[in-house]
Amino acid sequence: MESYKHTVQYYETDKMGITHHSNYIRWMEEARVDFLQKIGWDYAKLENEGIISPVLEVSCKYRKSTTFSDDVVITVRIKEYKGVRFVFSYEMKDSDGNIVAEAESFHCFLNSDGKPVRPAKDFPEFHNTLIKYISDND
- Where exactly are the structural domains of the chain? 4-136
Helical H segments across the chain, by residue range: 22-38, 43-48, 119-122, 124-136
- For residue 14, indicate whether it is catalytic: yes
Query: Above pLDDT 90, what percent of the chain?
Result: 91
Predicted TM-score (pTM) of this structure: 0.92
Residue 129, beta-bridge partner list = none
pLDDT, mean of residues 103-131: 94
pLDDT, mean of residues 39-45: 94
Helix (H) or strand (E) holding 59: strand 55-62
**CATH superfamily of this structure's domain 4-136:** Hotdog Thioesterase (3.10.129.10)
Comparing 115 with 137, the larger pLDDT belongs to 115
pLDDT at 71 over 80: yes
SS3 45: helix
